[in-house]
A and B are shown apart, each in its own frame.
Chain A
Amino acid sequence: DQQVKQNSPSLSVQEGRISILNCDYTNSMFDYFLWYKKYPAEGPTFLISISSIKDKNEDGRFTVFLNKSAKHLSLHIVPSQPGDSAVYFCAASGNNAGNNRKLIWGLGTSLAVNP
């Protein structure tokens, strides 16, 4: 059972437009969420995170929005650039000791930004 779901396996947008990647989760104990970007043949790299005490976190062109009541978060990339083409993973974790500490990952969304 996927506790973190990225329902869109792929997304294609035009350069300069907004990319919106979505992520849903089922475990109400999750309180920290991260987005990672992965290029082929490389490991994922950290992009941006958000704690459940916030509903928005912004870093340059990247903004993550969290809707706790809907158990939904989204990553906005504005403006999108061809170099943003990669697989984006959403991950979540709890704040307690033990197994809640491990990250639970979505299956990823492959973003293609077309020039």
Chain B
Amino acid sequence: KAGVTQTPRYLIKTRGQQVTLSCSPISGHRSVSWYQQTPGQGLQFLFEYFSETQRNKGNFPGRFSGRQFSNSRSEMNVSTLELGDSALYLCASSEQGTRGYTFGSGTRLTVV
């Protein structure tokens, strides 16, 4: 089975721009979760999608949004980028979204 694929791997954006990150889950996995990892905050949960519906949401501002398509692929969008949004964004998929998460390698976003 192919693993969780995140694109792009690296991204540099300017403050005020918006960005879209993509995640292709493992075939058959219907749950996709997004996390932000920064050195001081560890892994912060952004949101989870299951069968195209947002099922859980973390404590991030509305500038962070996501969606899931019928093939379970998911996208995450961040609008009006701020310097503090620089982080590693990780996507994880699982069959039901409860226990066995498999992570992608992440997208390293740098906002300048």
The interface of chain A, by Cβ under 8 A from chain B, is 32, 34, 36, 41-46, 49, 89, 91, 93, 98-99, 101-108
Tally B residues with Cβ within 8 Å of A.
Answer: 27
Chain A residues with CB below 8 A from B101, complex form: 46, 103
Q: How far is the CA of A32 from the CA of B101 in the complex (A)?
A: 13
B16 vs chain A, min Cβ distance (A): 27
Return the CB mask of B72-112 against A: 1 if under 8 Å, else 0. Answer: 00000000000000000011100001111111111010000
Q: Give which listed residue, A32, A42, A49, A105, contacts B42 with CB less than 8 A.
A: A105
Kindly report which residue of chain B lies nearest to residue A106, judged by CB atoms.
B42
Q: Is the CB of A102 within 8 A of B48?
A: yes
Count, A-B residue pairs, CB within 8 A: 56
With contacts A43-B4, A105-B42, A108-B42 taken as known, whether A99 is within 8 angstroms of B56 at the C-beta atoms is yes
Judge whether B45 and A42 touch: CB under 8 Å: no
Nearest CB to that of A6 among chain B residues? B42
B99 adjacent to A102 (CB under 8 Å): no
B74 to chain A, nearest CB (A): 15
Known contacts being A43-B105, A44-B90, is A102 close to B43, with CB within 8 Å? no
Of chain A, the residue at the smallest CB distance from B96 is: A101
Does B56 lie within 8 Å of A101, measured CB to CB?
yes
Interface centre among A49, A91, A105 (most CB of B within 10 A): A105
Q: Which B residues touch A44, using CB under 8 A?
A: 43, 90, 103
Among A32, A43, A89, A91, the residue within 8 A (CB) of B104 is: A43
Q: Are A43 and B98 in contact (CB under 8 A)?
A: no
Give 20 new A-B contacts, CB below 8 A, not counting A89-B43, A93-B98: A32-B99, A41-B105, A41-B106, A41-B108, A43-B91, A43-B92, A43-B104, A46-B102, A91-B43, A102-B48, A102-B56, A102-B58, A103-B45, A103-B101, A104-B45, A105-B42, A105-B43, A106-B42, A107-B41, A108-B43
